[in-house]
Structures are given as C-alpha cells and as structure tokens.
C-alpha cells in the first residue's frame, strides 16, 4: 500500500497546478466565475467561497501527507498537515453540500456532487477516527480514499479539457462528469487499499503493533 515516487510526484504537480489555476477565485472577482453559473454563484457566494477555500487547502496540502520521508522524519509536521487537510475537507465538503442543489445541469448533476461531498466527509472522518484509535494502517487506507475524492478537482478539470477539445455537448458531458470525476477515483483507491492475504497482511499487523507500542 505504498505510493511510488513517480505517482506521488504526478499527483503533487497536478494538484498544485489546479490550485494555482483556481486561485483566481480568491480574488472575489465575479469575472472568474463559471460563465454558465455566474448568476447562481453571485447569489450563493458564501457557500461557494467556503467550498473553494476548503477544497484548495485540502488539494494543496493533501499530497504531502503521503510523503514517507516527511512522515518518518517530521512526525509532528505530518500531524499538522493532516489536521489542516481534514479541516479543508470539512469546510470544502460542507460548502459542496450547500452548492450541490444549484449545480449546473440539474438534479442528476447535483446528486453527483452531493454524493461526492458526503463521501469526502465520510472518508475523512473515518481516517480521523482510525488514527485516534491507533489503527495506523486503517488510517492510511482511509486517507488514500479521502484524497482520491479530493483529487476529483483535478480529474474534473482534465475531463472538461477533453470535452472542449472533442467539442462534446457541454451540459450532457458535465452531468456525466459530476459522477465520473470521482467514482472511478474512489473505486481505484478502494482496490489499491484492499486487504491482501499472505505475508503483507502479517507485515501490516506488525506495523499496527509497533505503532501502538
């Protein structure tokens, strides 16, 4: 259940690029709003900015919680990053739930984003509960699943580029993307973090025992 250096690097670079590209929202300039939703965003600015701020924080710091070197050499900093990440997920998830009913594309799109928000909150909460209980391996599993959902911000924008390049119908595509930006991410994370029988399971048990000691 170890993330490779190459995988971590790609994840970190893409996350940082999306944060940089989305930071213009924090200028509070309506000109930065999603054109088709500008009027809706203007009437829901508080939950919109709550979501944006929380999501950007989670996306920016999230990859660093998976740095093995940081976790082993600077455990206190690792914990602080984790707390910051989970607070970002909480704030961003609440904002997302408030914005889901007015999502562009209607009820199906809104349901997709609402389910994403709930899943985001649940996985983060499960990760927190696991580490408070001393279940380190379970904590890592849940945090990988949580960040897979945070990474939906990246996959959503990559899919929008494909839609633009392929000249697909935007409204129909956006409705599909509301689900496709996160469901495959979560399924892949669940497969990656599945419990494996054999020697690895024994190693995980020893890791849990060592952490508890």
Residues 6+ apart with CB under 8 A from 139: 127, 130, 131
Q: List pLDDT tens digits, range 64-87.
A: 999 888 888 999 999 999 999 999
Predicted model pTM: 0.88
Q: Are 142 and 212 in contact (CB under 8 A)?
A: no
pLDDT score recorded for residue 29 = 81
Q: List pLDDT tens digits, range 120-165.
A: 999 999 999 999 999 999 999 999 999 999 999 999 999 999 999 9
Q: How far apart are CA 141 and CA 146, in angstroms?
A: 9
Q: Rounded to the nearest 5 degrees, what angle is found at the Cα of 145, between the Cα atoms of 155 and 170?
A: 25
Q: Are 107 and 99 in contact (CB under 8 A)?
A: no
Range of the domain at 26: 5-212
Give the count of domains, the chain. 1
Kindly compute the dihedral angle of the four CA atoms of residues 166, 171, 160, 167, in this order, to the nearest 10 degrees: 10
- pLDDT bin (cut points 50, 70, 90) of residue 32 is confident
State yes or no: pLDDT of 197 exceeds 90.
Answer: no
Q: Which residue has the tokens 């945090």?
A: 143
């Amino acid at each position: 259940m170890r993330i490779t250096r190459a995988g971590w690097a790609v994840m970190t670079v893409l996350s940082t690029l999306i944060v940089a590209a989305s930071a213009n929202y924090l200028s509070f300039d309506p000109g930065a709003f999603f054109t088709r939703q500008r009027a809706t965003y203007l009437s829901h600015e508080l939950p919109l900015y709550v979501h944006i701020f929380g999501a950007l924080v989670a996306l920016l710091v999230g990859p660093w919680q998976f740095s093995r070197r940081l976790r082993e050499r600077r455990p206190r900093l690792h914990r602080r990053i984790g707390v910051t990440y989970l607070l970002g997920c909480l704030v961003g998830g609440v904002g997302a739930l408030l914005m889901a009913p007015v999502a562009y594309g209607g009820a199906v799109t809104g349901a997709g984003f609402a389910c994403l928000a709930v899943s985001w909150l649940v996985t983060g909460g499960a990760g927190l509960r696991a580490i408070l209980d001393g279940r380190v391996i379970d904590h890592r599993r849940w945090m990988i699943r949580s960040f897979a959902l945070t990474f939906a911000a990246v996959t959503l924008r990559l899919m929008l580029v494909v839609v633009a390049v392929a000249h697909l119908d935007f409204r129909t595509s956006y409705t599909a993307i509301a689900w496709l930006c996160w469901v495959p991410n979560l399924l892949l994370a669940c497969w990656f973090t599945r419990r494996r029988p054999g020697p690895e399971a024994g190693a995980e048990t020893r890791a849990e025992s060592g952490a508890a000691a």
